[in-house]
Structure 1
């Protein structure tokens, strides 16, 4: 989707094309899974804990999510009691994203009237938090690069999802597909600390202070 493309993949794709100028890339963005068996695409880059058994590939990283707020709204030093935030204004992704663990958790634990803003893109969600509309859960690889945001809690492992590089078994030995997968795997490996949420400064609190999560 656009989140992975804008914040992670575009620099890696640019580096790949610089190294391999004879290769052309046709990038398709979709929140729906394309059918690699029907050759809708040669390679899929997906955030999922359950990649299709019909595809082969490798896990590049584990995408971390954490709770963020606008930095200017949380300027006091010291630990924030996460329990005090449940009455805060919240922002969330829409119902079409209930497959995401963080979205389900928010719907289960925050009163509906406190969720004042919903949007159907993760980039739009990050912009909403940065604008001060409310606090919300965001992927660390987006939020930790924005000076206007601050972590309010450590990444919750229960919200994480694997990032996979996948292709059809018939293409796994294609020289160009193999070259692309190997290159992108190395580039994402360099960004792994950012993707997995280990680059940010120590958070103010932990999600462990919140009501127990039953996200699965």
Structure 2
């Protein structure tokens, strides 16, 4: 982590401010008729995704943070640890469940591709920050209650249990063994999909 003057602010820079890490997504150098010049910035919290605005004086000292991220494939869970494999190097890493703050982690399934972000403190040390999951994912319905004939016409919903064990509302016409596309950001059903199986050529 290095300190730098706010005069060097630019888009895409990661900074530590108020004990949290933000990405500068926009800024404007303001020179008022009276008073000192300042930078009006728009910052995105790297963990929560929340965006806020803040003004920094031209002489303000900021802390630059080095962020590293890569694509990983989720392998499996063992007690309280998740295991992932780097798709580029094939190296495996393990992350304790308590470190993962994602509210949609219940939708994580084996084979899912995610992006994992790290705070690089020095050449030998980097700290896990968070993982980014895809916004929509296809799941197999493992269990759901059957409905009475005619209920499917009334556009009613029912509880379904997905392959990850996650429970959520789906339309009454969804049956066990079918595949559904889910928006895992707001945990909602999108549509029923036909599972396509690709056969390898000999």
- Structure 2 length as normaliser, TM-score? 0.23
Higher strand share: 2
Task: Flag the structure with larger Rg.
Answer: 2
- Structure 1 length as normaliser, TM-score? 0.22
> Which structure ranks higher in relative contact order (CA pairs < 8 Å, sequence separation ≥ 6)?
1
